[in-house]
């Protein structure tokens, strides 16, 4: 009895957290490095899912479909950054509005060119059970993949030289520029990586849902809330902390009252959290840490 309940709650928690984390990761990287909210994020996810579906029915194995999605959407991200985002370095809200224009063009263009839906990818039939219930192994895989992505991101930010340059750019772009860091290149790279994560998210969730041009909105509402709660100061701390916290809020609400109450609960939770931590979890943590480090030095 207890094991059924605990198993179910753990599974739901992992499922919710994976969804929030994968939805938000690409968005929060772009926010952290470029200080821009990419409102076309949902459409990048949609492109990822569409590319996965098309390549799946072209006969490629599933893993290769995922790789193709990531590559395609990353390249598209480079294109967007070079031709649009780049021109808004001084006007962040302007960039946001422009990316919204892009999102409308992509979703409506897809609708006009490819029609109202895309053939879904069948869900891999992996099952396992805890107690009396059986669960989808694919969804657990999503959770594991989400954690691996965070780990890869951590390796990049803290173990690779380019990662240190990226963090330097995030802290003080002018300073980074003047010691010879190619901040423009880092911006493009960050946008490409953020877009690539979005593409992967789309591909990973393609087997679990119906593929329609507006499918991105399913992800974006949650991604926005996760990013607001996480804050852009440190993408890793922000994404991980915020998705875990929000999954803790959403899991009991969703299991007892349904998905929609769960989502309203998340919005209210986000409002309460930013009242206390206006810069999100990562802003709060970074503030604490940087001041702490200063004391230690003195």
Using CB under 8 A, list all residues that contact other proteins.
31, 35-37, 39, 84, 87-88, 91-94, 96-98, 100-105, 108-109, 111-112, 214, 217, 220-221, 224-225, 227-228, 260, 263-264, 267, 270-272, 274-276, 278-279, 287-292, 294-295, 298
Burial of 88 per CB tally in 10 Å (0-12, 13-18, 19+):
middle
What phi-psi label fits residue 57: left (phi over 0), alpha (psi between -120 and 50 degrees) or beta?
alpha
CA distance 267 to 239: 16
Q: Where are the beta strands (DSSP E) in the chain?
A: 127-130, 133-136
Give the count of beta carbons closer than 10 Å to the beta carbon of residue 265.
Answer: 17
Using the structure block, give the residue that is written with the tokens 């053939």.
119
CA distance 237 to 243: 10
Residue 78 in tokens? 């480079």
CA distance 26 to 235: 9
Shortest Cβ 235–other proteins spacing (Å): 15
Shortest Cβ 93–other proteins spacing (Å): 5
Residue 49 in tokens? 């899912």
Query: Across the strands, what pairs with 240?
Result: none
- Helix 2-34 with 235-257: angle, nearest 10 deg: 140
Nearer to other proteins, 159 or 291 (CB): 291
Nearer to other proteins, 159 or 275 (CB): 275
Shortest Cβ 273–other proteins spacing (Å): 9
Nearer to other proteins, 161 or 294 (CB): 294
CA distance 96 to 52: 27
Shortest Cβ 182–other proteins spacing (Å): 24
Nearer to other proteins, 99 or 251 (CB): 99
Nearer to other proteins, 70 or 269 (CB): 269
Nearer to other proteins, 8 or 217 (CB): 217
Shortest Cβ 274–other proteins spacing (Å): 5
Nearer to other proteins, 1 or 276 (CB): 276
CB 169 within 8 A of CB 51: no
Nearer to other proteins, 60 or 263 (CB): 263
Shortest Cβ 94–other proteins spacing (Å): 5
CA distance 195 to 22: 12
Shortest Cβ 232–other proteins spacing (Å): 9
Q: Which helix (H) or strand (E) holds 180?
A: none
Shortest Cβ 297–other proteins spacing (Å): 11
Half-sphere exposure of 95 (CA within 13 A, CB side): 21
């Amino acid at each position: 009895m207890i094991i059924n309940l605990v198993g179910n709650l753990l599974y739901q928690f992992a499922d919710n957290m994976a969804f929030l984390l994968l939805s938000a990761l690409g968005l929060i990287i772009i926010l952290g490095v470029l200080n821009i909210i990419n409102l076309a994020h949902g459409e990048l996810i949609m492109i990822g899912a569409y590319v996965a579906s098309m390549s799946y029915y072209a006969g490629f194995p599933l893993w290769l479909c995922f790789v193709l999605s990531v590559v395609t959407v990353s390249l598209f991200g480079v294109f967007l950054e070079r031709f649009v985002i780049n021109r808004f370095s001084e006007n962040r809200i302007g960039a946001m509005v422009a990316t919204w224009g892009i999102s409308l063009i992509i979703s409506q263009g897809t609708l006009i060119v490819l029609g109202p839906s895309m053939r879904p990818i069948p869900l891999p039939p992996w099952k396992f059970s805890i107690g009396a219930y059986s669960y989808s192994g694919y969804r657990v895989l999503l959770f594991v993949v989400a954690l691996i992505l965070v780990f890869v991101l951590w390796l990049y930010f803290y173990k690779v030289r380019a990662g240190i340059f990226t963090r330097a750019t995030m802290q003080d772009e002018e300073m980074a520029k003047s010691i010879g860091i190619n901040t423009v290149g880092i911006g493009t790279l960050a946008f490409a990586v953020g877009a690539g994560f979005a593409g992967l998210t789309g591909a990973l969730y393609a087997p679990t849902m119906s593929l329609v041009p507006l499918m991105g909105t399913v992800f974006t509402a949650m991604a926005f809330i996760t990013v607001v709660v996480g804050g852009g100061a440190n993408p890793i701390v922000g994404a991980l902390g915020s998705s875990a916290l929000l999954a803790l809020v959403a899991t009991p609400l969703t299991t007892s009252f349904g998905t929609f109450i769960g989502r309203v609960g998340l919005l209210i939770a986000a409002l309460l959290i930013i009242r206390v931590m206006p810069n999100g979890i990562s802003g709060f943590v970074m503030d604490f840490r940087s001041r702490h480090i200063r004391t230690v030095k003195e």
